[in-house]
């Protein structure tokens, strides 16, 4: 694939220091443990320090039966392919002398052969790399027991013309494959969904030449980088500095990906002529939600933004200029949190709401019976089989099951993008719905 240069400078965003330090001092919320990362609170230092200073802990994933994700309900079957991209104008890591390399996963409406069968949940090279980096030895082959619905490298469906494009940014330290149930369902409704993992934050990104980019490599970089070590010694202020840098990196990765998709739409044997790059949205979970907002600030090609349970990491202070794009803001109940933790979360959510609701239209949707990691849809289905040191995880309430939560998230995400990319009127966005009693619309 041809390479596209990226040289646009990043605008400076001021930070309300007094407010930042006040909130940082209260950020002690611990989320559950899921999919290879100890998911701490949205405390900037707590999120960043483990990822910069050490390799992530390994997880036991003992799947005792074949696990199939929910059937897709859209009118289209779904294909899946990957694209390798190199940005020669950006370093792989700060101070590095190698270029930035990306491997994005693309879900798209497809017309597979009549005798074709869906591909593996994770390609063999990804499954091997992820298992080696993140799973205990006795969990080998666990991902082989998970079954999804996309057909690998299937011909694209050209019968309906072009499809709007959605960029997706996963949570911090998360592997995009564990959002498959959500991403496949969205694509089945007539979207090209492009998942953009962050190099060196994502646990494992296999490259075409056999190398693997891993989160442990960033920890090694930090140990040798004067800039990183200096930031860590500054405490919260240094961590905020590094967080802003990483968030900008993610936004620039997505901008570069969007540039490259122009070439994909012209030259790729599978996807040429399928991407409607005049109608582009972005959505992301947790740190990916903050990065999606950052992308929308920097790139006016973005027409709509969906933020999935992200407090924006105080990267966007209240006095920032509002976005020009419509915003969907979804939050979790955090039913696993203590009263003090809920108060801290409420304070952070209020800051995010204060910034995002400056945008018109702004849609707020809160889902009962959920945790922060419920938005990482596949994690809920895997939760019964996950353990760290013999301890399990809780990612949803007994009354609200994974399939139902996945359905709610995908339904509202689709309604939002259908309204603002396909210009189809969506009554679901006008208020509460008897069909979704789990949803409240008031922050």
Estimate to the nearest angstrom the gap between the alpha carbon of 268 and the chain centroid. 25
* Residue among 227, 224, 220, 200 at smallest CA distance from 211: 200
Pair 71, 77: CB distance under 8 Å: no
Backbone phi, then psi, for 265, in 5-degree steps? Answer: -70, -15
- The count of other CB atoms within 10 Å of the CB of residue 436 is 17
| The pLDDT value given to residue 32 | 31
Pair 427, 411: CB distance under 8 Å: no
Give ∠ CA 190-194-199 in degrees, rounded to 5: 170
| The pLDDT value given to residue 317 | 54
Give ∠ CA 5-192-4 in degrees, rounded to 5: 5
| The pLDDT value given to residue 228 | 80
Pair 408, 367: CB distance under 8 Å: yes
Whole-angstrom distance, CA of residue 395 vs CA of residue 365 = 19
Q: What is the tens place of the pLDDT at every residue in 373-403?
A: 899 999 999 989 988 766 777 777 777 799 9
Strands 439-440 and 362-367 come out as antiparallel
Q: What phi-psi label fits residue 389: left (phi over 0), alpha (psi between -120 and 50 degrees) or beta?
A: left
Mean pLDDT, the chain, integer: 84
Q: Return the percent helix, strand and coil in the chain, to nearest 5.
A: 40, 25, 40
Query: What is the percent of the chain with per-residue pLDDT over 90, rounded to a whole number?
Result: 63
Look at residue 229 and give its three-state secondary structure: helix
Structure tokens at 65: 């039966």
Q: What is the tens place of the pLDDT at every residue in 409-424?
A: 999 999 999 999 999 9
Q: What is the tens place of the pLDDT at every residue in 135-192?
A: 999 998 999 999 999 999 999 999 999 999 999 999 988 999 999 999 999 999 999 9
Q: How confident is the model at residue 43 (pLDDT cuts 50, 70, 90)?
A: very low
Q: Is the per-residue pLDDT at 217 higher than 90?
A: no
* Residue among 101, 80, 79 at smallest CA distance from 89: 101
| The pLDDT value given to residue 314 | 55
Q: How confident is the model at residue 331 (pLDDT cuts 50, 70, 90)?
A: very high
| The pLDDT value given to residue 313 | 67
Q: Is the per-residue pLDDT at 357 higher than 60?
A: yes
Q: Is the per-residue pLDDT at 42 higher than 50?
A: no
Q: How confident is the model at residue 9 (pLDDT cuts 50, 70, 90)?
A: very low
Q: Is the per-residue pLDDT at 216 higher than 70?
A: yes
Look at residue 356 and give its three-state secondary structure: helix
What mean pLDDT is predicted for residues 203-215? 94
| The pLDDT value given to residue 21 | 33
Pair 42, 76: CB distance under 8 Å: no
Return the axis-axis angle of helices 236-267 and 17-26, rounded to nearest 10°. 100
Q: Is the per-residue pLDDT at 18 higher than 60?
A: no
Which of the 8 DSSP states describes residue 273?
T
Peptide bond into 68 cis (omega under 30): no
Radius of gyration of the chain (CA): 20
All domains of the chain in start order, with CATH: 17-440 (3.40.50.1820)
Pair 272, 155: CB distance under 8 Å: no
What mean pLDDT is predicted for residues 313-324? 68
User: No. of H helices and E strands in the chain?
Assistant: 11, 18
Backbone phi, then psi, for 73, in 5-degree steps? Answer: -110, 0
Q: What is the tens place of the pLDDT at every residue in 248-293?
A: 889 999 999 999 999 999 999 999 999 999 999 999 999 999 999 9
| The pLDDT value given to residue 35 | 36
Whole-angstrom distance, CA of residue 157 vs CA of residue 233 = 53
Pair 302, 280: CB distance under 8 Å: yes
| The pLDDT value given to residue 171 | 93
| The pLDDT value given to residue 12 | 27
What mean pLDDT is predicted for residues 406-411? 98
Whole-angstrom distance, CA of residue 133 vs CA of residue 342 = 33
- pTM higher than 0.85 for the full model? yes
* Residue among 349, 414, 408, 350 at smallest CA distance from 375: 408
Which of the 8 DSSP states describes residue 72?
P
Look at residue 438 and give its three-state secondary structure: coil
What mean pLDDT is predicted for residues 19-41? 31
| The pLDDT value given to residue 2 | 33
Backbone phi, then psi, for 79, in 5-degree steps? Answer: -105, 160
| The pLDDT value given to residue 319 | 56
Judge residue 440's burial from the number of C-beta atoms within 10 Å of its C-beta, 0-12 exposed, 13-18 middle, 19 or more buried: middle
Q: Is the per-residue pLDDT at 52 higher than 50?
A: no
Q: How confident is the model at residue 316 (pLDDT cuts 50, 70, 90)?
A: low
What mean pLDDT is predicted for residues 225-243? 76
| The pLDDT value given to residue 73 | 98
414 against 31, higher pLDDT: 414
242 against 261, higher pLDDT: 261
| The pLDDT value given to residue 335 | 84
């Amino acid at each position: 694939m041809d390479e596209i240069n990226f040289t646009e400078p990043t605008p400076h965003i001021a930070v309300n220091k007094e407010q930042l330090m006040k909130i940082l001092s209260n950020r002690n919320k611990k989320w559950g443990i899921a999919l290879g990362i100890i998911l701490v609170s949205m405390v900037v230092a707590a999120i960043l320090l483990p990822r910069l200073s050490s390799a992530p802990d390994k997880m036991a994933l003992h799947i005792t039966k074949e696990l199939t994700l929910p059937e897709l309900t859209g009118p289209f079957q779904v294909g899946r392919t990957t694209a390798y991209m190199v940005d020669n104008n950006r370093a792989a890591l700060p101070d590095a002398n190698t270029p930035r390399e990306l491997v994005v996963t693309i879900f798209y409406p497809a017309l597979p052969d009549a005798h074709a069968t869906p591909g593996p949940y994770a390609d063999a090279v990804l499954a091997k790399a992820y298992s080696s980096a993140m799973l205990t030895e006795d969990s080998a082959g666990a991902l082989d027991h998970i079954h999804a619905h996309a057909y690998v490298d299937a011909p694209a469906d050209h019968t309906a013309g072009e499809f709007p494009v959605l960029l997706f940014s996963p949570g911090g330290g998360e592997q995009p494959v564990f959002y498959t149930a959500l991403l496949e369902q969205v694509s089945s409704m007539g979207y090209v969904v492009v998942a953009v993992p962050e190099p060196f934050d994502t646990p494992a990104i296999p490259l075409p030449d056999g190398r693997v980019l891993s989160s442990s490599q960033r920890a090694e970089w930090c140990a040798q980088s004067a800039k990183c070590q200096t930031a860590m010694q500054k405490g919260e202020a240094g961590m905020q500095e590094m967080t802003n840098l990483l968030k900008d990196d993610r936004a620039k990765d997505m901008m570069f990906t969007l540039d490259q998709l122009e070439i994909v739409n012209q030259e790729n044997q599978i996807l040429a002529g399928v991407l409607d790059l005049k109608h582009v949205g972005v959505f992301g979970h947790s740190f990916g939600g903050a990065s999606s907002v950052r992308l929308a600030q920097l790139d006016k090609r973005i027409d709509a933004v969906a933020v999935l349970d992200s407090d924006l990491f105080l990267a966007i202070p209240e006095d920032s200029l509002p976005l020009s794009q419509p915003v969907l803001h979804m939050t979790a109940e955090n039913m696993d949190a203590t009263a003090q933790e809920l108060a801290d979360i409420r304070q952070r959510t209020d800051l995010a709401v204060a910034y995002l609701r400056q945008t018109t239209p702004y849609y707020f949707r809160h889902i009962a019976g959920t945790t922060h990691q419920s938005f990482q849809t596949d994690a809920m289905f895997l939760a019964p089989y996950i353990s760290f040191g013999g301890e399990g995880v809780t990612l949803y309430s007994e009354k609200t099951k994974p399939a139902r939560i996945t359905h709610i998230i995908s339904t509202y995400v689709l309604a939002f993008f259908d309204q603002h990319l396909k210009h189809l009127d969506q009554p679901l966005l006008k208020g509460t719905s008897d069909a979704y009693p789990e949803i409240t619309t008031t922050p």
